């Protein structure tokens, strides 16, 4: 007889991304659901990966990451944010941002603690908090602007609060935290025992001349922050699952204890490839905002000719659209209908919430796609 499993994650089922991608495949829909690019990885990066494997970099990498990559990350951080993390003590290469988020939570959050999460939130946060035996305290962002209500965040802080999680540019809304927001966060956390987890995976995808306010720009935040990024987003290779965490030495030391016995190390050849890519072609990440801005503008201009109403997109590669002129269905039902009947797949927003705002009629569309894919989707959306 199989022993009974008393699940540790009763709220977890198949993710909405998998569900919608399966439905898209079944119905031959244009899939603007899951957030992955459908265009090529930079040629230089593919060449560097090929060379790394042929040069024999195929065995375990150092636990903290290949030194050349940590050096390249330190130089990039200095170049972009003006602060240079210590190569040996402050940078850890991980198997995607997902692993880094898990590690950071498990490094410092204990059973009975509380972690403040701003809803709508990326779906890997809460399960990691639950597995640590802690509780996610959900504070909603504004349902229209997706700006934080800092008074509500302040009110949510209790003696049990151990971590605040922020995400800018934000998935799913694309909203960005401003310098004023970061100053407020610094004020809220000052003198407390609360760590900051700053999820910055879309750090280089920012538009209209805006500046990404990394926690690394703020010395007061940096001293209590795990700052997490993902090469998957920056180099169009979400399937490689390589990310990293920058944190002060004491935080990194605990982070690495989890990383060491979670994965030990990360796919070695790609680390050599990213090291070369970061140093040889900084233009790639410097021009990523302009690259995606062209896609955003192209997609958005055409979306305005449909019954969907696009919301502003300051950063990231997702477009939120209000469908209230098309349907009264709730967002899950609307996304099923849109896929099956109209041949376009979007992601509903409600799964990103503990308590979705009543009557919200928004879906998320990913524009990290070739123009041909976006145009095919628009052609179908025009028939709504």
Ligand X SMILES: Cc1ncc(COP(=O)(O)O)c(C=O)c1O
Judge residue 381's burial from the number of C-beta atoms within 10 Å of its C-beta, 0-12 exposed, 13-18 middle, 19 or more buried. buried
Q: Is 105 in the site for ligand X (CB under 6 A)?
A: no
Binding mask 19-58 vs ligand X (x if CB under 6 A, - otherwise)? ----------------x-----------------------
Which residue, 19 or 306, has its beta carbon nearer to ligand X?
19
Q: Is 197 in the site for ligand X (CB under 6 A)?
A: no
# residues near ligand X by CB under 6 A? 14
Cβ(236)–Cβ(39) under 8 Å? yes
Instruction: Count, in order, helices (H) and strands (E) of the chain.
Output: 15, 13
CA-based nearest residue to 349, from 195, 119, 56, 177: 119
Edge to edge, the sheet with strand 243-246 lists 91-94, 243-246, 225-230, 195-199, 161-167, 114-119, 135-140
> Which of these segments, 212-220, 238-246, 322-330, 356-364, binds ligand X (CB under 6 A)?
238-246
> Which of these segments, 68-76, 91-99, 176-184, 187-195, binds ligand X (CB under 6 A)?
91-99
Q: Is 245 in the site for ligand X (CB under 6 A)?
A: no
Q: Is 356 in the site for ligand X (CB under 6 A)?
A: no
DSSP state of 356: P
Q: Is 230 in the site for ligand X (CB under 6 A)?
A: yes
Q: Is 97 in the site for ligand X (CB under 6 A)?
A: yes
Which residue, 140 or 243, has its beta carbon nearer to ligand X?
243
Chain residues 325-344 in contact with ligand X, contact rule CB under 6 A: none
- Whole-angstrom Cα distance, residue 336 to residue 342? 10
Q: Is 317 in the site for ligand X (CB under 6 A)?
A: no
- Whole-angstrom Cα distance, residue 368 to residue 346? 13
- Whole-angstrom Cα distance, residue 295 to residue 369? 8
- Which of 85, 96, 148, 269 is close enough to bind ligand X by CB under 6 A? 96
- Whole-angstrom Cα distance, residue 300 to residue 367? 9
**Tokens 């999460």 correspond to what residue?**
117
Which residue, 90 or 199, has its beta carbon nearer to ligand X?
199
Residues 6+ apart with CB under 8 A from 360: 143, 331, 349, 350
Q: Is 276 in the site for ligand X (CB under 6 A)?
A: no
- Which of 37, 85, 174, 243 is close enough to bind ligand X by CB under 6 A? 243
- Which of 167, 198, 276, 339 is close enough to bind ligand X by CB under 6 A? 167
Axis crossing angle, helix 96-108 with helix 249-262, rounded to the nearest 10: 110
- Could you tell me the smallest distance in angstroms from the CB atom of residue 376 to ligand X? 23
- Could you tell me the smallest distance in angstroms from the CB atom of residue 336 to ligand X? 22
- Whole-angstrom Cα distance, residue 224 to residue 197? 9
- Could you tell me the smallest distance in angstroms from the CB atom of residue 97 to ligand X? 3
Which residue ranges make up the site for ligand X (CB under 6 A)?
35, 96-98, 122, 167, 171, 199, 201, 230, 232, 238, 241, 243
């Amino acid at each position: 007889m199989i022993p009974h499993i008393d699940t540790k994650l009763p709220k977890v089922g198949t993710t909405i991304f998998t569900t919608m991608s399966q439905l898209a495949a079944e119905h031959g829909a244009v899939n603007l659901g899951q957030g992955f690019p459908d265009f090529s990885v930079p040629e230089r990066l593919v060449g560097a990966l090929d060379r790394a494997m042929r040069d024999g970099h195929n065995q375990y990498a150092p636990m903290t990451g290949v030194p050349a990559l940590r050096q390249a990350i330190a130089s990039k951080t200095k170049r972009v944010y003006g602060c240079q993390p210590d190569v040996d003590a402050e940078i850890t290469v991980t198997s995607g941002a997902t692993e880094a988020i898990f590690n950071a939570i498990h490094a410092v959050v204990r059973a009975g603690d509380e972690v403040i999460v701003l809803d709508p939130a990326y779906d890997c946060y809460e399960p990691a908090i639950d597995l640590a035996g802690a509780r996610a305290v959900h504070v909603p962002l504004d349902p229209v602007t997706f700006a934080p209500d800092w008074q509500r965040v302040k009110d949510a802080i209790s003696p049990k609060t151990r971590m605040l999680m922020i995400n800018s540019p934000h998935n799913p809304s694309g909203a960005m935290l401003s310098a004023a927001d970061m100053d407020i966060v610094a004020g809220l956390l000052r003198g407390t025992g609360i760590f900051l987890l700053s999820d910055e995976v879309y750090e280089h995808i920012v538009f209209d001349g805006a500046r990404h306010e990394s926690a690394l720009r703020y010395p007061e935040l940096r001293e209590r922050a795990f700052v997490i990024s993902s090469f998957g987003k920056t180099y169009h290779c979400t399937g490689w699952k390589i990310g990293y965490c920058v944190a002060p030495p004491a935080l990194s030391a605990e982070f690495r204890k989890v990383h060491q016995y979670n994965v030990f190390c990360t796919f070695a050849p790609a680390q050599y490839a990213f090291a070369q890519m970061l140093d040889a072609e900084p233009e790639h990440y410097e021009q990523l905002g302009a690259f995606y801005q062209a896609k955003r503008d192209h997609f958005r201009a055409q979306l305005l000719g449909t019954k969907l109403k696009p919301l502003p997109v300051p950063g990231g590669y997702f477009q939120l659209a209000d469908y209230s002129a098309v349907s009264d269905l709730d967002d899950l039902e609307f996304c099923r209908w849109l896929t099956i009947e109209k041949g376009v797949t979007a992601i509903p927003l409600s799964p990103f919430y503990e308590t979705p705002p009543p009557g919200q009629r928004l879906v998320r569309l990913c524009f990290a796609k070739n123009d041909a894919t976006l145009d095919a989707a628009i052609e179908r959306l025009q028939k709504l």
